Structures are given as structure tokens and as C-alpha cells.
Structure 1
Amino acid sequence: MISVRHQGNWGMDIHHWDWVPGVGVISLMEYGTATGADKVIDYLLLWVNRNKRKAEGVRVINSLAPYALFPGLYRLTGDTWFLSKAQEIAAWMLETAPRTREGALEHTVTEAVDFPEQVWADTVYMAVLFLARLAGLTGDRGLAEAALQQTLLHLRLLQDPATGLLFHGWNCRDGSHMSAARWARANAWITLAVPGIVAETSRVVAVPEELSSRYRTLASALRQVQGENGLWHTVLDRPDYYQETSASAGIACGFLKAVKGGLLDDSFLENAGKALEGILPLIREDGEVQGVSGGTPVMPSIEAYNAIERYPALYGQGLVMQLLTEALNHPHLQHPQQTVPLNSEGKGGRRP
């Protein structure tokens, strides 16, 4: 993920300030803190110092993803810059960031394109998770309530009452889900983010039962469309479409986190384990994760999702890393007979 050979590669260049490297560094942080890998935390501190100037003047939802590091880095270092910058970004989210007529955060991106009054599932992971982490750090009730409100709004607007799955987006102007695709990675972003949002905000305020209930409905619906090999198809209810690795990892990791946090019962561990089994063969010996679809806006048709190119990307690497990290908490999911090189020095390690 941090190799210099990736420089200039949209999917794998970690040295810019947007959602793609954002998911990558969030994942590195989870791995570093879970395993006590000080070198990883040191790298993240260097990464922020090197790239923080690129964030100046860029205020869109997708560019907020790296700020999810800041509450944790403040806890680890005591550097008040992380706290003050996080509070500045949170204030922008609450006071200035564009909203839809329902009050949901409008999904905005760094590319020169607008999606007026559109709600995307991606927002919950890219921005709301950060808000919840800051609320957990500071004990700020307003931040916690805002994070829960945004999460619940997104679930209400995106959840299909017929299946329990999530649509990729909602157009508030048209009152439609546009192409109405039940896109796998959209479902993964929310499946993965909600356990963390609930864990952080529940320290400060009560979590609405509707949020927990909708999440359980989503999780139950997802396991109904899981493939026999443990993976999910890029459009969840289209088993003739290709299976997608990053979404499969995100959903499975979300299940593990939700079981740990009490949102889901232990039966979901079986689904997560099945996904893990399906993903392991897709990790090459050099660490590259295969089968990851490229950046995907709300597409004009359901068929267009199946045409999205697949290539290595930091969010794919990262979501698989998060799944492997979370699996460390569940020894029965580990497979000690499988080993892979874990670092650039070629030192081998056990693959969970």
C-alpha cells in the first residue's frame, strides 16, 4: 500500500487527500492499533504531516475520509493540532456542508462534477464515521446526535423496504433511487461503518432503536444474497454479475464488528468466515488484492455496474486488511496453515 512504485496511480497512490487513500490510512490505523505495530502509527503520523497541506481548501464529503484518523492520533500523541483540526472540520460539516431537502449530507466529490441533492451510501463511511469518532473522543452530545441522525437518514432514504438491502443513491429532486441498483460496495460502506458509529456515540447518547433495527434488517438481507463461495456480487441481487472483493470484505468485517458490539448475534460469524475463505485466494503473494471494482458513481443503469473495470485500489487493500485485522479477535476464523509475506523485508507471517 505504501510502495513508491504506486505514485501517480489513481487507485494505489496513497499520497493525496481523498477517499481512496483515506480508506487506506483508516485501515492501516485499525491494523496498527489492533496489533500494537508502532511502525504503522509512525508511518501514519508521517503521512499526515506530508499530505495535510493538500487538504487545505478541499471541503467535500469524499475528502473527509482521512480525518477519521485524527481522534485516534490525538489519543495516541496528545497533539492538540489533531483535535483542533478535527473540530474545525466537524463544524464545517454541521454548519456549511450542503444538505438535501431532507437534511441529509449531499454527497460531494473532489472531481469537477456535481450531484445536487443526491444522497449516497458512501457518505456514512467517508464522513459520518469521522463525526462519530470525534463525538466519542470529546463527549460532545451535539456531534453524537448529528452522527446518529445522518446515519438514520441515510438508512431511511436508501433502504429498500421490499428486500432490506440498500440502494446506492437517492435523488431528492426526483424522489427516486435513480438506476435503483442495490450495489454491493454501497451496502458494505454502511454495514462496516454503523458498528463503529454506534460504539462511539453510545458512550454519549442513546442510539435510536430504529437504527439498530434497520441495521439488523440489512444484515439479514445481505446474508440471503451471499454467494456459495462466500462472496457477494457487485449488484447484490444479480447473481449473473461478477463478484466483488472490496464489498465482500467490507460486509464481512462489518458483521464481525457488529457481533462484537452486540448489534448482531453470533450466527453472523459463519457468514463472515465464509467470506474470509472466499477472499483469501484472491490475495496474491505480493499482497495485491484482486477483484476490486474501480471508483463507481451512481451509474445510469444497473447493467453499467457490471461493466466497471477491476484493478488494485487502496480501498480494496484496506477493506481486506480490516477484515483480516478483525479476524484476529475470532481465533476460530484463523487458518494458521496459510502464510504470506507481511512486509517489504519479506518476513513471513500468519494469515488470519
Structure 2
Amino acid sequence: MLKTKQNLFKVATLALAMSILSCKTKNTTVVDSSKIQTNQKWSDRMAQTLIKAHPESWMIDDAKAPKWDYVHGLVLTSIEELDHTRPNKTYENYVKSYVDNFIEADGSIKTYSLEKYNIDMIVAGRLLFDVYAKTKEDKYLKAMQLLRKQIEEQPRTPSGGFWHKKIYPNQMWLDGLYMGEPFYAEYTATFEKGKSFDDIAKQFELIQKNAKDPKTGLLYHAWDESKEMAWANKQTGQSPNFWSRSLGWYVMALVDVLDYMPKDHPKQKELVSYLNETAEALVKVQDKSGLWYQVTDMGNREGNYLEASGSAMFAYAFAKGANKGYLPAKYKKIANQTFDAMVKDLIKVGPNGEVVITQACAVAGLGGNPYRDGSYEYYVNERKKDNDPKATGPFILAALELNR
């Protein structure tokens, strides 16, 4: 009996020792993994930086509470693309955890309001296609159908362009093309046999016709068909300036929509021509560093600065456009030059290997309260934010297209 007790005591002691050792080993692993290895691809380094800074995916952009939002849609789309390229359960779970924070059993989306008709709220819906394809859970399909309902009911300008938001009547912003059209294109390709491609192309046609400057070929940030807004040109309805990030949203929208539009569709070549025209206009105002300025065409003006989000967006769109054959091969070289310049001039690497993108405009818009007039002074004085999601997401996408 005594021997049995002694044996049991030995077993318990051994188990306790192994448990302590196991805990130590686990803790050591955590410490090791907290240092982001600098010999990895830039896309992994950036994604790991974000996951480390925001352990829950809803925390992206330093969110204090869960919110269905376009910045999460952008960043998580980039991490989803990374997971498709180099499968990693951490990335997959990080994306799915965001979706599962919001999608209810009946397909409703927490914090989302259809009645606001805010086109920004469509883009996070892109994450649902992959999750639905893997799980076949009906709630994800219902959530996609809800967002498709918003597109169906979205108020439109007299010419047929989607309002940017219900609170911005008769206005199309370049931003909105990225917010709405890639989801719309994937949805119509997946569930509707492509019936809405003409309507999707129409959104780009209206921007080309009404927001394009005939002298430079660049597109103004927004167009007010009613010409009633104080920022709108009374003859054209155009906003006063070119903003690099809005142009970035536009070219990203084109390359992403083209993923779903068949090559033999009558509008496909039209969209490819818009991409080429805009890319050509952008290269003419590119800084010799390889980057672009916040106010796109005014590099020499006091207060302007080389801006990270627009530059990353152009690098992604140019690289993808060249890889897919929409753009001439020279644009891959230009994208690499931009990427090099970002790494050299705009990126800092922290003590634990974390990647920090500087010189990113945090936010810019038009109208609203306080009123944003779209002036040069307005754009260059909006606050900047390190690792703003509008820079980090496109940076990951550019790194993937360039295999950097």
C-alpha cells in the first residue's frame, strides 16, 4: 500500500513537473513569436504586425468597440488574399472571427443599418463569399443578400450613379467605386449569371464622363450631379482637387471588378481602357522618388507631402493590372519602384520587427459637419496616422502582387 502511494506521488510529481515545463515552453514560444521575423515576405510581416497590435480583428484601426466598417473590409480582404497565397490558419481565423462577430443566425449584420444607404458598408461583405463557400452556412448567404438589397435600393443620381451615402444626395465619390462595385461584381458573377455587369460598368462610365479633367486625365475626388454643394464647380459639378487616395480607390476598384467580368463581355475592354488612361495620367505626376503626393498634381506646393495610402494603392493596381495583362508590362516596374520607395522613405521597422507605415492621411471627405470644402489647404492639413488601414491593406496587396 505504501509503495503504491509512493508510486502515485512520483507520478503526480512527474506530471506537475511536466506541466510546469510545458507552461514554460508555451510561454517561451509566445515570446519568440512576438518578434516578427524580418526574413519573411513584407505581406506576412505587415499582417503579423496588425494581428499583434489588434488581437481581435474588430480592433483594427484602434476601434474601441466592434463595428461593421469599410477599413476592416479592406485590411481583412488583403489578409484573406495572403491566406489564399500562403495558407495559414492564423490568417483564416482572423478574417472569419470578424465576420462571426457581426453575422447573426438570421443573416442580419450587427451595427449595420441598411436605411443609411452608405455605400462604404458594402465592402466588408466581400469577406462573406469565402466563408460561405467553405461553410455553406445559410446566415452568410442571407447577409450577402442583405447587402445586395442595399445595392438594389441605393439612391441614384438622375444619370443612374449610386449616391455615396443617403446624407450626400446626388454625389458620386471615387471612393464609392471601390466600396460598392467589387462586391456587386462578385455577387452578380456568383449568384446572378452576371446580369448586372452593365450597371457596374455604368458607374465607372459616369465617373469617366463627369469627374475626369480633360487637361491632365486625372479624376476629381467627387462629382455632384445637382451642382448644389458649395464645393461643387457650378458648371461641371466637380470637386476642386485631385486626391491621391481617391484615385487609388478608383484604380483598385477597376482591377478588382475585372476579376469577375468575362473577357468577352462588351464592357470589359472599356474598363481596361479606363485603367490605362488613369494609370498614364498618374505616372505623369509621379514624384521622382517613386511616390505620389497627397494632392496629386501639386508636388511643388508648400505643405504637400508624399502620401502612403495612395502610393500603396497605385502600386497594387499597377502590379495587378500588369500581372493580369490589363496594363503594359512597364507598370510592374513602376509598381516595384513605388514599393522600393515606400520601404526606403515611409516605413520604419520596430524593435520586435513590427512594420510601421508613416505619412498616411487618416481621413478626408467632402461636405458634412464640420464642413470639408475640398480645398488644397483642407487636404494637406487633415491628420496623418501611422499604419492607417487605408495604407496597410493595399501595402499587403501590393507586396503579394509583386512577390516582395
TM value normalised by structure 2: 0.74
For residues 12-49 of structure 1, give each alpha carbon's deviation from its aligned partner in whole angstroms, at most 9, with x where no partner exists.
Answer: 33942112222121221122212222321122111111
User: For residue 314 of structure 2, what is the aligned residue in structure 1?
Assistant: 251
Match of 2:269 among 187, 202, 209: 209
SS at match of 1:288: strand
User: For residue 97 of structure 1, what is the aligned residue in structure 2?
Assistant: 154
Deviates more, 1:26-35 or 1:271-280: 26-35
Distance in structure 2 (CA, Å) of the matches to 1:239 and 1:220: 17
Calculate percent identity across the aligned residue pairs: 23
Distance in structure 1 (CA, Å) of the matches to 2:259 and 2:123: 18
Distance 1:179 1:158, change over 3 A: closer
Aligned length: 324
Which aligned pairs between 1:1-352 and structure 2 lie closer than 5 A?
1-2=50-51, 3-4=53-54, 11-13=61-63, 15-52=66-103, 53-58=109-114, 59-94=117-152, 96-108=153-165, 114-138=167-191, 140-174=193-227, 176-202=236-262, 205-240=265-300, 241-281=304-344, 282-285=346-349, 286-298=354-366, 299-300=372-373, 301-312=375-386, 313-328=388-403, 352=404
Distance 1:132 1:144, change over 3 A: same
Shift of 1:169: 0.2
In structure 2, what residue type is equivalent to 1:163? T
5+ unaligned residues in a row in structure 1: which ranges? 329-351
Deviates more, 1:5-14 or 1:157-166: 5-14
SS at match of 1:220: helix
Shift of 1:247: 0.5
SS at match of 2:348: coil
Distance in structure 2 (CA, Å) of the matches to 1:25 and 1:10: 9
Distance 1:216 1:185, change over 3 A: same
Distance in structure 2 (CA, Å) of the matches to 1:63 and 1:81: 18
For residues 253-289 of structure 1, give each alpha carbon's deviation from its aligned partner in whole angstroms, at most 9, with x where no partner exists.
Answer: 0001111222101011121011001111323322221
SS at match of 2:259: helix
Distance in structure 2 (CA, Å) of the matches to 1:276 and 1:56: 35
> How big is the alpha-carbon RMSD for the aligned residues of Structure 1 and Structure 2?
2.4
Distance in structure 2 (CA, Å) of the matches to 1:159 and 1:72: 35
User: For residue 340 of structure 1, what is the aligned residue in structure 2?
Assistant: none
SS at match of 1:264: coil
In structure 2, what residue type is equivalent to 1:222? L
Distance in structure 2 (CA, Å) of the matches to 1:25 and 1:140: 27
Shift of 1:155: 2.6
SS at match of 2:172: strand
Deviates more, 1:126-135 or 1:296-305: 296-305
Instruction: Report if aligned partners of 2:244, 2:295 keep a CA contact under 8 Å in 1.
Output: yes
User: For residue 19 of structure 2, what is the aligned residue in structure 1?
Assistant: none
Instruction: Report if aligned partners of 2:364, 2:382 keep a CA contact under 8 Å in 1.
Output: yes
SS at match of 1:291: coil
Shift of 1:133: 1.5
In structure 2, what residue type is equivalent to 1:295? V
SS at match of 2:131: helix
Distance in structure 2 (CA, Å) of the matches to 1:103 and 1:293: 31
SS at match of 1:201: coil
Question: Which structure has the larger Rg over C-alpha atoms?
Answer: 2
Distance in structure 1 (CA, Å) of the matches to 2:266 and 2:283: 28
Distance in structure 2 (CA, Å) of the matches to 1:54 and 1:176: 39
Instruction: Report if aligned partners of 1:106, 1:118 keep a CA contact under 8 Å in 2.
Output: yes
Distance 1:204 1:78, change over 3 A: farther
SS at match of 1:165: coil
5+ unaligned residues in a row in structure 2: which ranges? 1-49, 104-108, 228-234, 367-371
Distance 1:311 1:232, change over 3 A: same
For residues 131-159 of structure 1, give each alpha carbon's deviation from its aligned partner in whole angstroms, at most 9, with x where no partner exists.
Answer: 11222323522233322222222232222
Distance 1:71 1:155, change over 3 A: farther
SS at match of 2:355: coil
Distance in structure 2 (CA, Å) of the matches to 1:201 and 1:91: 21
